[in-house]
Structure formats: structure tokens, C-alpha cells
Amino acid sequence: MQKMNLRQLQNLALFGMGTSVYQLSRFNHMDLGTEPNQWDLSIRNQKIPPPNNRLSPWETLEKYLPILQNMGIKHLRFSVEWNFIEPQAGQFNQKAIRQYQKILEKCLAHEIEPMLTLYHFTQPKWFQEQGGFLKSENSRYFVRYGEKVIDELKPFVKMWCTINEPAVEVFSGYLYGQFPPHQRIRLSKAAHILKNMLYAHVELCHHVDKKYPHENLKMGLVHNILRFESPSLLIKKFITDPLTHFTDELIREFISTGHFKYQGVNYYDERFKGNCCFVNIYGSVQIGYLGPQCQKHQKMGDMYIAIYPESYNLALEKAAQFDMPIYITETGIADQHDVIRPDFIIHFIRSVVKQVRLGQDIQRIYFWTFKDNYEWNEGHEKQFGFFNQEDIPRNSAYLLAWVMKQFQEITEQQKDPEQIILQWLQVLDQAEQKIQENQLDYFSKIIKL
């Protein structure tokens, strides 16, 4: 814990957005001379739905950069596609590298600081064919790729995420079977894959620290806090506790080793619960014989995510156990009709502000995401965007832009951290009152997007 200071609050007032290039891509995206990744192969085998984005990721990013700048967004997290950069083992695609350099230049021209994720669930076909992270010796390929990307793009980027949600990828791809390669293997074998991914992170960080000791490159890893719970002692002992150890506690133990310049936290809802092997609860949302349900006083999104401030605080308190800055690298809610996203935004920001007041070193919030995109095995059904597929802003986009404007004006005018916090909370109270009075159009009358 630390005493809050003006610089931290000035940083926190500058919100960000997050996305991944693959989720903005069209299927059969071969315009850069690339090869398929493992998701493309699963789509071709009809195991998951295909993306139907109309534009290329580059066209989408270029289109939205001025929109995001106008909203007040100051940071953008997006991914580097490994199969774009290294379509064949050891052969780097300079055309793709130049494309990334161009889009990064445009980010900076729009006064938006980029954060790049080197691995966001996708890997080249050749890497998968060689066993991927199943084999310990394959970690060197990720390190080679990461070094190349950092060599080429470090003039534009200081914030780097090595791997996005490693525990989620291994759980979803090798235990639950929803992600490629759609396998269900022993937990011990899945743990070996996770270990290899974490080892690759450490090795790349060592290489970067040794090669660029004075560049001030901030290297981190993103963890999605995911826990499993059950009221049944038997299920708790043999199922939910081992899964929680795998998906959360192992990662947090790894974070404590200190191979990080910051801690990346993805937060949606932290808990799976279940009262038998096949009845789950996501956060406080029960998924059972009667379908998804949540508690009477709560609201639930389209992806079984509830508005649950107590859980926000618990997740942030866990992240604060480590002596390093916290970046909330993703948070959001799937809500096609934008009914509960406004509430989610206000409740989540309020939780962050209160935790900062208590001394947590939270530096930034990245919201997921600026535009409805491809949500992996869910296809386009789950809509997280502040703008829809037709590029029309939802009410929550105006709300977020208004909150950002108020926060930034307060930090420019006020120098006392305690007064800044108090005025921020007043802004959130005012926004919540408008939401409760069903006056969301208030924000669109003030903010022009």
C-alpha cells in the first residue's frame, strides 16, 4: 500500500481501451502474406463460428483512433499477431512489421499511448504443429519472436504485455475444450503447459532487461482472476479447489517472483461456483437446470457477468498484495442492448477510486472494448463494444466520455489528492443519478462523438 499522490491520480484519469487484432480481423486475412493460426484452422473445421468483421483490423483502428481521441481515450491496448510477424518458423514478415509501425505512429499522432500484447490467444500453425507450449523447448520460439517485435517496435511502445491470460487459455483449450486445440487433458499435463508459458515470459523479460537496460520498457503479464467455488465439501476438495489453485493461485505465486514491471489484471467476474459437477455459477450468476440466474438485487449481462461491487473490491485487494503498480488491462460487460453497461461502468470506476483512496497503486483502467468484435468461441453474439458493429455509439460511450472529461478537468484544476477523489466520487454519484432516472440522453446532449 502507498499514499495516493497527484501523479497517480493524473495517470488514472487517462482511461484506455483494449482490443486484439485477431478479434478485429476478417476470416482468411491473408493481405499481409500471413499463414493461418490455430483459430483459423478450428473455424475451417467448423468447431467455432467465423468472424464477420467487414474491415481489416488496420482499417478499423485507423477509423477509430480519431473517435477515441475525441472521446478522451489516452491509451490503447492491442495485440501483435504472431502468425502475421512470423508466418514460417524463423522467417519474419517485414510487411507486417511495417504495418504495425504505421498504426503505432498513428496512435501517437492522435495522442494515444499504445500498449502491445505479444500473445493474445493466437499462435502460428507451425508452432502448433511443433507441439506449441506442450513442449518446454518450444518456449524459445516465443522468446525469439518477442525479441524481434520489441527490436522493431520499441521506438513506439514502452508498455508491453507478454502473454494474455495464460491460465484462461490453458483452461479453455486443454481442460474445458472450448478454445483450440479443443482438448481435455489431465490437470497435471495442463499445469505443464502453463509452466512453459510462464517460463517463456521470464526468459523474454531477462533478454529485454539485458539488451535494453536503459530503455525503461515496462514488461508485464496479464492475469484474469478466475476462481471456482462450491458449497459441497466433496466437490470443493476434488474439483473446485484444484481448479482454483491452477487458474489463480499458481499465477499469483508466479507474480510474487517479481519478473514484472507492473501487474496486469483483467477483471470481468472472478468466481465460478457450483453445487454439483455440472451446475456452475459465474460470479454470482447461477447456471443450472433453470438457466442463468442471479441474485434478486443484481443485474446480469449477456455473458453471465453480474454487477457485483464486492467482487471488484476483493479482486483489487488480491492484486494489491504485490508491491508493484496495477494496470487493469481489461474490464467490461457483454450487453447488446446497453441496459446494464452504464451501471457497470459507474460501479467499477467507483470501486477503483475507493481502492486508490485506501492506498492501492492502481495506475490505469483499460475498458473492453471500443467496438463490438469477434469474441472467440462465442462468435459475434456477445457484444462488449461501446460502439456497435455499425459504428453507432451506445449510450454508455457518451457516459464514459463524460466521466473521463470530468475526471481530467478535475485533475487539471485541483492539486490536492483527497479533494480530487472526493470530486471524482461526486461525478460518479451524479452519473448514477442520471442512470437511475433513465436520463442517459443527458450525456449525449453534452458529448459529441
pLDDT digits (tens, 9 = 90+) for 208-258: 999 999 999 999 999 987 777 777 788 788 888 888 888 888 898 898 887
Q: Write down the pLDDT at residue 1.
A: 65
Low-confidence ranges of the chain (pLDDT < 50): 270-298, 300-303
Q: Write down the pLDDT at residue 329.
A: 96
How are strands ordered across the β-sheet holding 291-294?
A: 227-229, 271-276, 279-282, 285-288, 291-294
Flag whether 314 is in a domain. Answer: yes
**Which residues span the domain enclosing 180?**
10-391
Query: Distance between CA 364 and CA 180 in Å, rounded?
Result: 31
Flag whether 239 is in a domain. Answer: yes
CATH code: domain of residue 245: 3.20.20.80
Number of domains the chain contains: 1
Q: Write down the pLDDT at residue 36.
A: 86
Q: Write down the pLDDT at residue 85.
A: 96
Flag whether 435 is in a domain. Answer: no
Is residue 266 classed as helix, strand or coil in its secondary structure?
strand
Neighbours of 297 (CB within 10 A): 7
Flag whether 446 is in a domain. Answer: no
Flag whether 372 is in a domain. Answer: yes
Flag whether 406 is in a domain. Answer: no
Flag whether 260 is in a domain. Answer: yes
Flag whether 420 is in a domain. Answer: no
> If you search the block for the grid coordinates 474490464, which residue do you land on?
331
Q: Write down the pLDDT at residue 247.
A: 85
Query: Distance between CA 85 and CA 83 in Å, rounded?
Result: 5
pLDDT tens digit sequence for 292-336: 444 444 454 444 555 566 677 777 888 888 889 999 999 999 999
